[in-house]
Amino acid sequence: QKEVEQDPGPLSVPEGAIVSLNCTYSNSAFQYFMWYRQYSRKGPELLMYTYSSGNKEDGRFTAQVDKSSKYISLFIRDSQPSDSATYLCAMSAQTGANNLFFGTGTRLTVIP
Amino acid sequence: DVKVTQSSRYLVKRTGEKVFLECVQDMDHENMFWYRQDPGLGLRLIYFSYDVKMKEKGDIPEGYSVSREKKERFSLILESASTNQTSMYLCASSFRGSDEKLFFGSGTQLSVL
Query: How does strand A32-38 pair with strand A45-51?
Result: antiparallel
Checking if the pLDDT of B1 tops 70, the result is: no
- Please say whether the dihedral angle defined by the alpha carbons of residues A67, B41, A42 and B53, taken in this order, is positive or negative: positive
Strand partners of residue B93? B32, B103
Q: pLDDT tens digits, chain A, 112 residues: what are they?
A: 678 999 888 999 999 999 999 999 999 999 999 999 999 989 999 999 998 888 999 999 999 999 999 999 999 999 999 999 999 999 998 877 678 899 999 999 999 9
Partners of residue B104 in chain A, C-beta under 8 Å: 43-45
Confidence of residue B53 (pLDDT cuts 50, 70, 90): confident
The shortest CB-CB distance from B100 to any of A8, A97, A104 is to: A97
- Cα B27 to Cα A48, B94, B102, B104: the distances in Å are 20, 9, 12, 12
Please give, rounded to a whole number of angstroms, the shortest distance from the CA of B6 to a CA of chain A: 10
